[in-house]
Amino acid sequence: MKDDVTIINCQLINKAQALKDVSFEVKKGEIFGLIGPDGAGKTTLFRILTSLISADSGQATVDGLDVATDFRELRKHIGYMPGRFSLYQDLSVEENLQFFATIFNTTVEENYYLIQDIYKQIEPFKRRRAGKLSGGMKQKLALSCALIHKPVVLFLDEPTTGVDPVSRKEFWEMLKKLKTEGVTIVVSTPYMDEAQLCDRIALIQHGKILSVETPEKIIAGFPKKLYQAHSENNYLLLLEVRKNPEVKSAFMSGEYLHIVFNGEADETVPNLKEIGPSIEDCFVYLIEN
Amino acid sequence: MIIKIDNLTKCFGDFTAVDHITFSVGKGEIFGFLGANGAGKTTAMRMFCGLSKPTSGEGRVAGYDIAKQPEMVKKNIGYMSQKFSLYEDLKVWENIRLFAGIYGLDGKQISRKTDITLKRIGLMNEKNTLVKELPLGWKQKLAFSVAIFHEPKIVFLDEPTGGVDPIARRQFWEMIYEAAEKGITVFVTTHYMDEAEYCNRVSIMVDGRIKVLDTPGRLKDRFHAKNMDEVFRQLAR
């Protein structure tokens, strides 16, 4: 199978946002998630792969094109939705879309089938200025603009931050549909329920990739038993549990505490119950150890 | 009651953004105020904070009438939002000094409390750092500490954790619990439905109205849902 994105030893030395020996491959038609704490280097990586900045050393190809030397050709093959809303706020919905189609030498009509499910939802507002749209609608317009030239690979940097759960769900359904059209998607997100929807996830911290796995394998790889507990006052329980020398880590997680013990579980902790870890538990565990 | 809202309504022309909402929140409670983009949450919050006059209905926040005593409301609440909370070009201590000063604390009080606060949140070494140089998770911790520095009865948090990674979010929620334990009421909006489960009670707003209000546990039972995300999706569409 031909690899759409191949990064080999891509290194960026840049005080705050260094990437160190980052290597991974993304397969055609994959939804590939980049997950990591703030400042881990995700946005830097997106910028290198979209040819907006160059790596200090190393090499990366996207759709067979070198990001450093073939960048002119590369830009026709990729769509990029940066984390910050970056459409023209003073142009209308329709004008933004036409603008992006024009600069890529295509027309809205030619690739309309690719965006129609998304665009139909914002079409009633097509004369509204982009700056006046709600959060969810902005994301839909930005995605439409990133897709209008039918890119082979789509890069999405935190596309759903600040978007409500219903719109997020719709957004991910669109991504799944694009995948069936053969579009490869590289996406970063702080939402762990979205991480679960990726085919594979790269966990990144301090500019290094900790693991590249399917969500199922990441969960199966959780090295300890995980327990939940709760009481009338979870905050006081948390402070109590943390004093227990048998406790390796303890965190609030919604209505419950999530606890990992060094050895055997301490049965005196109230309402203790073994549970299966979520992607979020795995993420927190990997980052902290 | 720290918040008591009665039939509060806000219209813009013939559009009703907030439509006769009624609820109350008690001391030390963590209350989640949920709703889709455009449901009317921000408009409602602006009225609770004394920033926008209601079209009709009444509300009392921290003991003051939101329509008649908006300045007293503002003095007695804390506020933090993801979009704006700190001045990026000021140092950590300067931000604290500025906001505490605005709330009327005197210089001596401020300097004493600044160090205590920074030590507690582990940012003592960053006292002289410009806020823009801090990682997002640290900024949020600082912004929350600044919002409760003047010991308000209630703090409003408008999407405080947007775009923050899971570890920073869990730490942030510990700070919220700590504040609630001290008796500060926490009123929070979020798009993370797993965070809704941290709240004592939540309300879900749809098209300007409060559609449900209960504990996360009871809402999940009522809608036969395994998590708050499912509850939200059943209601919001």
For B81, name the nearest residue in chain A, comparing CA atoms only: A162
Would you state the CATH architecture of domain A3-219? 3-Layer(aba) Sandwich (3.40)
pLDDT score recorded for residue A13: 55
Residue B222 in domain:
yes
Within a 10 A sphere around the Cβ of B125, how many other Cβ atoms?
9
Percent of chain B surpassing pLDDT 70:
99
Please tell me if residue A167 touches chain B, with a CB cutoff of 8 Å.
yes
pLDDT in tens, A200-250: 999 998 888 888 999 999 999 999 999 999 998 999 999 999 999 999 999
d(CA B25, CA B74): 17
Mean pLDDT, chain A, rounded, equals: 89
Q: What percent of chain A has a predicted confidence (pLDDT) above 70?
A: 94
Query: CA–CA separation, A149 vs A105, rounded Å?
Result: 8
Q: Using the beta-carbon criterion (under 8 Å), do B136 and A36 form an inter-chain contact? A: no
Of the candidates A136, A158, A165, the beta carbon closest to that of B193 is on A165
Beta bridge partners of B15: B12
Choosing among B30, B37, B181, which should be mutated to test the A contact, i.e. which has the most A CBs within 10 A? B37
Runs of H (alpha helix) within A133-214:
135-147, 165-180, 192-195
B127 domain-assigned: yes
Mutating which of A35, A38, A191, A242 best tests the B interface, going by the most B Cβ atoms within 10 A? A38
Determine the pLDDT at residue A1.
42
Domain contains B19: no
pLDDT in tens, B119-163: 999 999 999 999 999 888 889 999 999 999 999 999 999 989 887
Chain B partners of A238 at a C-beta cutoff of 8 Å? 174, 177
CB B98 within 8 A of CB B90: yes
Average pLDDT, chain B: 93
Residue of A61, A73, A64, A43 whose CA lies nearest to A149: A73
* Whether pLDDT at A10 is above 80: no
- Whether A165 and B191 lie within 8 Å, measured CB to CB: yes
Q: What is the mean pLDDT of residues B48-67?
A: 96
pLDDT at B223 over 90: yes
Count how many pairs of residues, chain A against chain B, have C-beta atoms within 8 Å: 98
| Rounded CA Rg of chain B | 18
Nearest to A79 by CA among A54, A111, A116: A111
Amino acid A17: pLDDT? 55
Whole-number Å distance between alpha carbons of B144 and B158:
11
Q: Does B89 touch chain A (CB under 8 A)?
A: no
The pLDDT of residue A12 is 54
Q: Does A230 touch chain B (CB under 8 A)?
A: no
Q: What's the alpha-carbon Rg for chain A, to the nearest Å? A: 22
Instruction: State the DSSP H helix or E strand holding residue B114, giving kind and residue range, or none if neither.
Output: helix B107-120
Please tell me which residue of chain A has the smallest CA distance to B216: A255
End-to-end C-alpha distance for chain A, whole angstroms: 35
Please enumerate in sequence order all residues whose Cβ is within 8 A of that of A187, keeping only pairs 6 or more positions apart, or say none: A31, A32, A33, A34, A155, A156, A157, A159, A175, A194, A198
Contact A143, A155 (CB under 8 A): no
Domain count, chain B: 1
Residue listed under structure tokens 């142009």: A91
User: Contact B163/A162, CB-based, under 8 Å?
Assistant: yes
User: Is residue B119 a contact partner of residue B101, using CB atoms and an 8 Å limit?
Assistant: no
In chain A, what are the domain boundaries? 3-219, 223-288
| pLDDT score for B19 | 97
Q: Which contiguous run of DSSP H or E holds residue A31?
A: strand A31-35
- pLDDT tens digits, A112-133: 998 988 899 899 999 999 999 8
Look up residue B168 and give its two tokens. 């920073």
Residues of chain B neighbouring A36 (CB-CB closer than 8 A): 165
Q: Which pLDDT does position A155 carry in this prediction?
A: 96
Closest residue of B to A252, CA-based?
B170
When pLDDT is averaged across residues B188-194 and rounded to a whole number, the result is: 90
Q: Write out pLDDT tens, residues A138-188.
A: 989 999 999 999 999 999 999 988 788 888 888 999 899 999 988 999 999
Rounded distance, CA B188 to CA B176, Å? 10
Task: Return d(Cα B3, Cα A47) in angstroms, integer.
Answer: 46
Which of A18-22, B36-40, B210-214 has the largest mean confidence? Answer: B210-214
Question: Which pLDDT does position A11 carry in this prediction?
Answer: 54
pLDDT at B184 > cutoff 50: yes
How many Cβ atoms sit within 10 Å of the Cβ of residue B204? 24
Give the residue-averaged pLDDT of B150-178: 91
CA distances from A72 to A65, A79, A108 (A): 10, 13, 22
Which H or E run contains B42? helix B41-48
Residue % of chain A over a pLDDT of 90: 60
Determine the pLDDT at residue A205.
Answer: 87
The pLDDT, as a whole number, for residue B47 is 97
Mean pLDDT, range A24-51, rounded to an integer = 90
Q: What is the CATH number of the domain that holds B205?
A: 3.40.50.300
User: Phi then psi for A192, rounded to 5 degrees?
Assistant: -70, -25
Could you list the beta-strand ranges (E) of chain B. 3-12, 15-25, 30-35, 56-61, 64-65, 77-81, 154-158, 185-189, 201-206, 209-214
Domain that holds residue B220: 28-39+75-236
Chain A interface, best mutation among B84, B134, B165, by max A CB count within 10 A: B165
What end-to-end distance do the CA atoms of chain B give, in Å?
32
Closest CA to A48 of A38, A36, A35, A57: A57
Tell me whether A124 touches chain B (CB under 8 Å): no
Of A83, A163, A233, nearest to B37 by CB-CB distance is A163
Is A254–B37 a contact, with Cβ atoms under 8 angstroms apart? no
